[in-house]
């Protein structure tokens, strides 16, 4: 009997479809298993490659199956889709996963540790609370604008709304005041929770060498550093800093043909949170340079001459991504670049 070489698993909540393939790609078995029987079945199989799509619960199952001695390969769903033959069902998906995992040029996703997922959850929770707080502020601004109370955008102007609601001389009706206080109470509650999460993130950043190292880069704070550590794959998996910048979607999209290079807009591939935070950090560096003046002879000073600010921010974010790769692979802190003499 031919031993199984690759097992493709189509993940679900309770019922999993498995496809076992031999070294030559032949079908060894097709099985449908319940959630409670999955690990028991895989424990009886010879050590082999177990492939899954990198989707919900994939990292949990990857850690559990890895304990059984199998080699885990997580594949982005977009790379599995071309291997699905005709009909779309669980059996066809499992077979496509096994087929995709057998390709020598396939790209895989590293299995995240529990610590990485906890950091990712903390970042996502803070991001969600910030978004919900913004919704409340915008809703309150919109409602009060119907009564002639208009303020600029931003959290800094919420206090003016509160003063208008509590002002006895204001023309706001009493029901509007009561509803406005509900909004303000919710906003204050979100402020407290977000502040607590910020303190927790800073506390963890101080105790982590890698996060502390990333924070030495201008434009990268504790939130950005934690996001990079939580969501980015191991830096050793990239051949160069450009590879990490391309993964983060900070390089132009290529549409080259016939030996002619055609570069388009930013590709926006990879992890969107990391890309967004790097661009925000780059914009903060540029704003500081506008106020105080960039260092003479620096790369930033040359870029800011006659170029749009957003273009400079994208270029700087790309440079920051490459710097992150170099620092994490070499285990070194940020070093200020040598200035070019004018």
Residue 170 reports pLDDT greater than 80: yes
* H-helix segments, 34-173: 38-43, 58-66, 77-80, 90-101, 114-145, 158-166
Residue 342 reports pLDDT greater than 60: no
pLDDT at residue 135 in the model: 95
User: Which range among 73-77, 81-85, 205-209 shows the weakest confidence by mean pLDDT?
Assistant: 205-209
Q: How far apart are CA 49 and CA 52, in angstroms?
A: 10
* Helices 158-166 + 174-206 axis angle, to 10: 150
Mind listing the pLDDT tens digit for each residue in 211-230?
A: 999 999 999 999 999 999 99
In the chain the first and final C-alpha atoms are separated, in Å, by 74
30 bridge partner residues: 19
Coil, helix or strand at residue 252? strand
Which residues neighbour 274 within 8 Å (Cβ) at sequence distance 6 or greater? 224, 227, 228, 231, 232, 248
The phi and psi torsions of 306 (rounded to 5 degrees) equal 75, 15
Distance of CA 265 to the CA centre of its chain: 20
Q: How far apart are CA 302 and CA 281, in angstroms?
A: 19
Residue 108 reports pLDDT greater than 70: yes
CATH of segment(s) 6-101: 3.30.420.40
Q: How far apart are CA 272 and CA 188, in angstroms?
A: 29
Q: Record the tokens describing residue 166, joined without a space.
A: 């509590």
Q: Count of CB atoms within 10 A of residue 297's CB? A: 13
Mind listing the pLDDT tens digit for each residue in 10-44?
A: 999 999 999 999 998 899 999 999 999 999 999 99
Q: Record the tokens describing residue 149, joined without a space.
A: 């109370």
Mind listing the pLDDT tens digit for each residue in 235-245?
A: 998 999 999 99
Please tell me the pTM assigned to this model: 0.85
Q: Measured at the alpha carbon of residue 330, what is the angle toward residues 116 and 114, in degrees to the nearest 5? A: 10
pLDDT mean over 175-199? 95
How sure is the predictor about 339, in pLDDT bands with cuts at 50, 70 and 90?
A: low
How sure is the predictor about 313, in pLDDT bands with cuts at 50, 70 and 90?
A: very high
């Amino acid at each position: 009997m031919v031993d199984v070489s690759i097992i493709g698993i189509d993940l679900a909540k309770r019922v999993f479809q498995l496809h076992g393939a031999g070294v030559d790609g032949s079908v060894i078995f097709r099985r449908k298993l319940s959630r409670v029987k999955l690990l028991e079945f895989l424990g009886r199989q010879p050590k082999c490659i177990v492939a899954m799509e990198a989707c919900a619960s994939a990292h949990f199952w990857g850690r559990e199956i890895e304990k059984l001695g199998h080699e885990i390969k997580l594949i982005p769903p977009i790379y599995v889709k071309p291997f699905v033959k005709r009909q779309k069902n669980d059996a066809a998906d499992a077979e496509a996963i096994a087929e995709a995992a057998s390709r020598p040029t396939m790209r895989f996703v590293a299995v995240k540790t529990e610590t990485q997922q906890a950091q990712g959850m903390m970042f996502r929770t803070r991001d969600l609370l910030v978004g919900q707080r913004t919704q409340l502020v915008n809703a309150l601004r919109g409602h009060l604008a119907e009564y002639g109370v208009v303020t600029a955008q931003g959290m800094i102007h919420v206090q003016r709304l509160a003063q208008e609601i509590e002002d006895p001389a204001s023309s706001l009706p009493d029901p509007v005041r009561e509803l406005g206080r509900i909004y303000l109470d919710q906003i204050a509650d979100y402020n407290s929770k977000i502040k607590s999460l910020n303190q927790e993130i800073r506390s963890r950043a101080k105790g982590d060498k890698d996060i502390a190292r990333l924070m030495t880069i201008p434009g990268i704070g504790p939130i950005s550093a934690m996001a990079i550590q939580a969501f980015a794959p191991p830096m050793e998996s990239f051949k160069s800093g450009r590879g990490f910048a391309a993964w983060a979607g900070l390089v132009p999209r290529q549409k080259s043909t016939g030996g002619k290079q055609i570069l388009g807009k930013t590709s926006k591939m990879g992890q969107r949170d990391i890309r967004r935070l790097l661009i925000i950090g780059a914009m903060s560096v540029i704003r500081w340079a506008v106020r105080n003046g960039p260092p003479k002879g620096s790369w930033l000073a040359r870029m800011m001459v006659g170029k749009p600010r957003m273009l400079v921010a994208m270029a700087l974010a790309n440079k920051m991504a490459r710097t992150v790769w170099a620092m994490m692979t070499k285990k070194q802190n940020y070093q200020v670049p040598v200035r070019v003499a004018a």
